[in-house]
Amino acid sequence: MIAQFAVVLFDGFAFGMLLFVLSVGLSVTLGLMNFTNLAHCAFGMVGGYATVIAMNWLGIPFLLGLPIAFLAAAAISVVLERTIFRLLYGGTELSQVLLTIGIVFMASASAAYLFGTAQQPIQIPSWLRGSYEIAGQNFGIYRMFLSIVAIAIAGLLIFGLEHTRFGARVRAAVDNQRIAQGLGINVDAVFAVTFALGCGLAGLGGALAIEIVGLDPSFGFHYLIYVLIVVAVGGLGSIAGSFVAAALLGIADVAGKYFVPELGSFLIYFLLVAILFVRPNGIFGRR
C-alpha cells in the first residue's frame, strides 16, 4: 500500500514538473504585461512538433531535439509578439482572450492539416527507457529525468530572477510597471525577452511531454486548462508558487485518477474552484 502511494506520488510529481515547465513562462508574462495569453500551450505544441520533425525526419538525437524545441517555440513567439500580440497590450481582457484563442484554433487546425490527428511517436534513447523496481513498484527512469530537468530549470529561473540584473528588472516591472519605466527600465524590451523565454520553456515542455502524455493537435487546448490552473492557483509572477501549484496539481490529478477513477477529473476542477473561491489571487498571489 505504501509502495503504491509512493509510486502515485512519484508519477504525480513528475507530471506536475511537466506542468511546471509548460506553465512557468505564462505565469511570469501574465504578471509582467497583464496579457492573458491563452495560446501559451500552442507554443508548447510547436515545441513538440519541432522535436518530432527533428528526430523522426532529420534523425537528430533526443537530447539535441529538446533545445531545438525551445528555440523553435521562442522564435515563433517573438515573431507573433512583435507583430500581433503587442497591439493588444493596452486592450481589454476579452480581446486578448479571443485573439489568443483564435490563434490556438488556427494552430491546432494547422497541426491536424500538416501532421494528421494521430499521436506522434518518438524514440527516446535507451538509457531513458525502462524503470527501476523498488518494493515491487516501477519507478520510470524517464519520469526521474523529467523531474530533474524541471527542478534544474526552476533553480536556474529562481537564480536568474533573484540574483541577476535582468531578473531585478523583471521583478521591478512585475511589481510596478509604470515606476519601473520611470526608473529607466525598458519594460517593452524586458517583456519581449521574457515572453520569448517563457514560450521557449513551453516548447521545451511540449517536447518533454511527448513521452508521457503524447502529442496530437489538441495539445494546445487540452493542457491549456492545466496550465491555467497552475498559473491561477500559483499566483501571477511567482516561480515558487507555480512550482508548488504544479506539483500539487500533478499529484492530485494522478492520485485522483488512480484511486477514484470514476470521478475522472472532477477532483481537479473542484479543487480549482474551491481554491479560487477562498483565495481569488491564488495561493501565493500578492495582487
Partner 1 sequence: MTDTTQTRQDPHVWLRRKSRWSVTEIAFWVIAGTVPFLFFPTYLTLASQIAIAALFALSVDLVLGYAGIITLGHAMFFGIGSYAAGLITKTGWGEPLTGLLFACAVTAFVGFLTSFIIIRVRHLALLMITMGLGLLTVELANSMSWLTGGHDGLQGVDVWPIFNRFEFDLWGYTAYAYAFIALLIGVAISRRIVHSSFGLALTGVRENITRMPAIGSEYRGHLQTIYVISATMAGLAGALLAQTTETASLDTLSFQRSADVVVMLIIGGTGRLYGGIIGAIVFMIARDQLSGVNPQYWYFWIGLLLVIVVLVMPKGILGGLARLMGRRN
**CB of 197: closest distance to partner 1 in angstroms?**
20
Instruction: Find all residues with CB under 8 Å of 179, minimum gap 6, and list them.
Output: 172
First to last CA, the chain: 42
Of the candidates 58, 46, 60, the one whose C-alpha atom is nearest the C-alpha of residue 114 is: 46
Place of cell 495569453: 37
**CB of 6: closest distance to partner 1 in angstroms?**
27
Give yes or no for residue 103 binding partner 1 (CB under 8 A).
yes
**CB of 114: closest distance to partner 1 in angstroms?**
11
Choose the binding region for partner 1 from 45-53, 71-79, 93-101, 137-145 (rule: CB under 8 A).
93-101
Of the candidates 79, 76, 12, 7, the one whose C-alpha atom is nearest the C-alpha of residue 43 is: 76
Question: Which one, 159 or 269, has the nearer CB to partner 1?
Answer: 269
Helix (H) or strand (E) holding 131: strand 131-134
Question: Which one, 179 or 273, has the nearer CB to partner 1?
Answer: 273
**CB of 191: closest distance to partner 1 in angstroms?**
17
CA 278 to chain centre: 25
What's the grid cell of residue 287?
495582487
Give yes or no for residue 282 binding partner 1 (CB under 8 A).
yes
Question: Which one, 55 or 215, has the nearer CB to partner 1?
Answer: 215
Options 98, 144, 151, 283; binder of partner 1; rule CB under 8 A: 98
Choose the binding region for partner 1 from 99-107, 133-141, 152-160, 177-185 (rule: CB under 8 A).
99-107
3-state helix, strand, coil in the chain (%, to 5): 75, 5, 20
Question: Which one, 14 or 199, has the nearer CB to partner 1?
Answer: 199
Binding mask 144-173 vs partner 1 (x if CB under 8 A, - otherwise)?
------------------------------
Give yes or no for residue 174 binding partner 1 (CB under 8 A).
no
> Is the four-CA dihedral 63, 68, 70, 73 of positive or negative sign?
negative
Question: Which one, 89 or 159, has the nearer CB to partner 1?
Answer: 89
Of 11-50, which residues contact partner 1 (CB under 8 A)? 30, 36
Give yes or no for residue 104 binding partner 1 (CB under 8 A).
yes
**CB of 38: closest distance to partner 1 in angstroms?**
9
From residue 275, how far is each of 147, 235, 245, 252 by CA, in Å?
25, 11, 11, 13
Q: How many helices (H) and strands (E) does the chain have?
A: 11, 2
d(CA 143, CA 7): 11
d(CA 159, CA 237): 15
Binding region for partner 1 (CB under 8 A) = 30, 36, 84, 87-88, 93-95, 97-99, 101-110, 112-113, 117, 225, 228-229, 231-232, 236, 262-266, 269-270, 272-273, 276-277, 280-282
